[in-house]
């Protein structure tokens, strides 16, 4: 039974993710969690942590340092009994694994693109997305209308209504 001083496995997992978010690929100004390099963070009942991660490429210059830094930072969390980091290349990492925040930071998305992706993923009842042609989407959000190309998710027109 958990005592007041013991952390739950969810608290350990949250702290592990927070620590991972402080680790950056030396060549990319985005943390490895937002880059999508972390596939799983699992904590067992004894607070042993297992991290399944990948690298941007098998010959990544940080192949030794990143997993070691993940293990070191998670092992330092109060309550963690042990930490094992496992590297996998299945599935192979690609840019689609990055979070929207990472894509925005690296210039893969404009601010408008980010808004559109948010609209498409987290619509509320007041958002309207309709397809005007096979290659466009028309979005209405907060009385703003945005026409975007489906293939590029790039806004080409903004009109206030």
The candidate with the shortest Cα–Cα distance to 83, out of 66, 63, 67, is 67
What residues does each domain of the chain span? 9-97, 109-160
Residue 34, pLDDT > 50, answer yes
The mean pLDDT of 124-140, rounded to a whole number, is 47
Distance between CA 131 and CA 109 in Å, rounded? 21
Task: Please name which of 121, 55, 49 lies closest in space to residue 85, comparing C-alpha atoms.
Answer: 49
* Mean pLDDT value of segment 51-77: 93
pTM flag (> 0.75):
no
Tokens of 12: 């350990």
Question: Are 149 and 156 in contact, with CB atoms under 8 Å apart?
Answer: yes
Residue 75 gets the label, from left (phi > 0), alpha (psi -120 to 50) or beta, of alpha
φ, ψ of residue 49 in degrees (nearest 5) = -105, 135
DSSP 86-97: EE--SSPP-GGG
DSSP state of 148: E
pLDDT band at 121 (very low <50, low <70, confident <90, very high): low
Would you tell me which CATH number, out of the four given (3.30.70.330, 3.90.1150.10, 3.30.470.10, 3.30.300.130), belongs to the domain 9-97?
3.30.300.130
Place 26 in a pLDDT band, splitting at 50, 70 and 90.
confident
Percentage above 90 pLDDT, the chain: 43
Instruction: Answer whether residue 120 shows pLDDT above 60.
Output: no
Given a contact cutoff of 8 angstroms between Cβ atoms, the answer to whether 91 and 124 are in contact is no
| 20 — pLDDT class (breaks 50, 70, 90) | very high
């Amino acid at each position: 039974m958990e005592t007041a001083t013991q952390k739950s496995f969810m608290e350990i997992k949250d702290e592990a993710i927070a620590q991972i978010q402080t680790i950056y690929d030396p060549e990319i100004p985005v943390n490895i969690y937002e880059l999508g390099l972390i596939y799983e963070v699992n904590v067992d009942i004894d607070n042993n942590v297992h991290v399944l991660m990948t690298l941007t490429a098998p010959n990544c210059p940080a192949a030794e340092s990143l997993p070691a830094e993940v293990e070191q930072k998670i092992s330092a969390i109060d309550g963690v009994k042990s930490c094992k980091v496992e590297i996998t290349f299945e599935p192979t990492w690609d840019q689609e694994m990055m979070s929207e925040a990472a894509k925005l930071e690296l210039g893969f998305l404009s601010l408008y693109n980010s808004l559109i992706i948010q609209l498409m993923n987290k619509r509320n009842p007041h958002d309207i997305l309709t397809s005007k042609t096979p290659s466009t989407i028309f979005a209405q959000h907060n009385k703003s209308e945005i026409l975007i190309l489906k293939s590029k998710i790039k806004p080409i027109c903004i009109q206030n209504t």
